[in-house]
Chains A and B, each alone.
Chain A
Amino acid sequence: DAKTTQPTSMDCAEGRAANLPCNHSTISGNEYVYWYRQIHSQGPQYIIHGLKNNETNEMASLIITEDRKSSTLILPHATLRDTAVYYCIVRVGFGSRLTFGEGTQLTVNP
């Protein structure tokens, strides 16, 4: 699985968009980009995933660059409850391993 690089921490004002970047320059053609988050030591929660195209669901949007070497998770209107560690993971869609890095600590401030 390709290695990912994320900033250690980020801050965002409540109500504003939170944009979390992820670099995955060694991604292979059959590898998907997944995002999970972990709120205060709870079990991680799936957010979104994508292969080539941008994706949107009720939680977030995922923007993947055309060369697929980086992506951005967007929380359009961050709330205090979005404060969490966000993990960017690259893996094959049907792969059996899900490998976590250190993630980004997002703090949403009032």
Chain B
Amino acid sequence: NAGVTQTPKFRVLKTGQSMTLLCAQDMNHEYMYWYRQDPGMGLRLIHYSVGEGTTAKGEVPDGYNVSRLKKQNFLLGLESAAPSQTSVYFCASSPGVAADVTEAFFGQGTRLTVV
């Protein structure tokens, strides 16, 4: 039972480089989310998706793009990485509209360092 899987787990980028973080879930969930967490702080929502082919901005979307071409995958892209994007990135998914089963499941995180 894999749940939510994030790839890669660790990455070091140089300023200006691009990369894509992959999130995959095997629970047939409608909703998926990308968060970032800076040291000593709570999670901040970057982008989210309420279904295949849809995306929406969260609290801190600047510098990131996302795509949800397949229901099970949610990709987070950094087109030109900056040191301010050094953070731990978490992906999550949740079932959708049924109010009594709306808990979100989180991946184990991707630790990204931009130098």
Give chain A's interface residues, CB within 8 Å of chain B.
32, 34, 36, 41-46, 49, 85, 87, 93-94, 96-103
Contacts and interface: CB of A to CB of B under 8 A. Distances in A.
Contacts of B37: 41
Interface residues on B, range: 20 to 34
Contacts of A41: 37, 88, 109
A29 to B, nearest CB: 13
Contact of A93 (B41, B48, B56, B99): B99
Interface of B: 4, 31, 33, 35, 37, 41-45, 48, 50, 56, 58-59, 88, 90, 92, 94, 96-100, 102-109
A97 B45 contact: yes
Contacts of A43: 4, 90, 92, 106-109
8 contacts: A44-B104, A49-B102, A85-B42, A97-B48, A98-B45, A99-B45, A100-B42, A100-B43
